[in-house]
Amino acid sequence: MTTQRKVPELSLLSYVNGSNADKIKFVDNIFAGLKDYGFIILKDHPIEQKKIDRAYELVQVFFELPIETKNKYKQGNGGQRGYTPFKTEHAKNNENPDLKEFWHVGRELLGSSPYKGVYPENVWPSEVGELKKSFLDLYEAMDSTSQILLETIGKGLDLPSSYFNDMINDGNSIIRMIHYPPTKGEDTKNSIRAAAHEDINLITMLVGATESGLQLLERDGTWLDVNSRPGEIVVDTGDMMSRITNNILPSTTHRVINPSSDASARYSMPFFVHPHSQAILKTIPSCAGVGTSQPTITAGDFLNQRLKEIGLYK
């Protein structure tokens, strides 16, 4: 009898507040989990639940607005900020559109930042006035938590403590607020809520979701449910992390399947952790000699390349 595999659950606060032995254990466990599954689940973390709960409330208010109102906030920037309409994005090498609409919030840069004017500016819906403050607060909390996570991953890769921090300083990270509407009347034979794909970035942090449906692709070709409870954060590694580690920390294929009831909606809020656009994506020394190194590329060029592949940049 085989035991059902399960995505590892870890305590981030055991690293933040724990002893040196606790820190070492966490580093070992997150590295092992991401290496094996490409995913781990954080049972606890420093982000206040009330910030997450309020953000979800406001997300639902926004997506309930009329289509013509939401379309006012479409931006010509490959969907990097503002609103992206329903069935716009598709997975790489899949022409069928995903059954979702979303809104992106990025970093608010100081005027002195070298990336001011390089990244698109945020836009904010006047119809949901509280959304700006709520999401900038959540962004800051997610951003600082991502620094802790990348610090732990860096230790597992024998990197200097500043390695990832330097990469994501003024980084192009985004919160994606996603609405998966009821699937009634949609082509659910060819399209699902999010077709099989890999994330573009270093790591993704998914703070809860109002429904399940997330699955990862195991190496034997089977799909494994990724089930998390309220208050937990699902973390996975993206293409950029896979690239610089020679796939030691793989970018795991995952999807969001359609619900059993075509009348139910789903909301989720992944935080995609990106380096700054001039960060160099090259093989980490501890990963050299394992597999085939990918050509060096800037994070900005890699992002634009991938946005074209998923239909957001024409």
Contact 177, 59 (CB under 8 A): yes
Query: Which amino acid is present at 9?
Result: E
Let me know if 229 is exposed, middle or buried by CB neighbors in 10 A (0-12, 13-18, 19+).
Answer: exposed
Contact 183, 213 (CB under 8 A): no
Task: Tell me the per-residue pLDDT of 284-299, one tens digit each, with 9 for 90 and over.
Answer: 999 988 777 788 999 9
* Residue whose tokens read 């998966």: 180
Q: Please tell me the pTM assigned to this model.
A: 0.95
Give the residue numbers spanning the domain of 124.
Answer: 9-309
**% of the chain beyond a pLDDT of 70:** 98
Asked if the structure places residue 68 within a domain, the reply is yes
Asked if the structure places residue 1 within a domain, the reply is no
Asked if the structure places residue 314 within a domain, the reply is no
Which has more pLDDT, 281 or 308? 281
Asked if the structure places residue 291 within a domain, the reply is yes
Asked if the structure places residue 94 within a domain, the reply is yes
Predicted confidence at residue 313, as pLDDT, reads: 63
Predicted confidence at residue 247, as pLDDT, reads: 93
Asked if the structure places residue 287 within a domain, the reply is yes
Task: Tell me the per-residue pLDDT of 79-120, one tens digit each, with 9 for 90 and over.
Answer: 789 999 999 888 888 889 999 999 999 999 999 999 999 999
How many structural domains does the chain have? 1
Asked if the structure places residue 3 within a domain, the reply is no
Average pLDDT, the chain: 92
What are the distances in angstroms from CA 200 to CA 110, 190, 197, 238?
Answer: 25, 23, 9, 5
Asked if the structure places residue 263 within a domain, the reply is yes
Predicted confidence at residue 1, as pLDDT, reads: 46
CATH of the domain at 221: 2.60.120.330
What are the distances in angstroms from CA 94 to CA 251, 271, 311?
Answer: 18, 23, 10
Average pLDDT score over residue span 143-150: 97
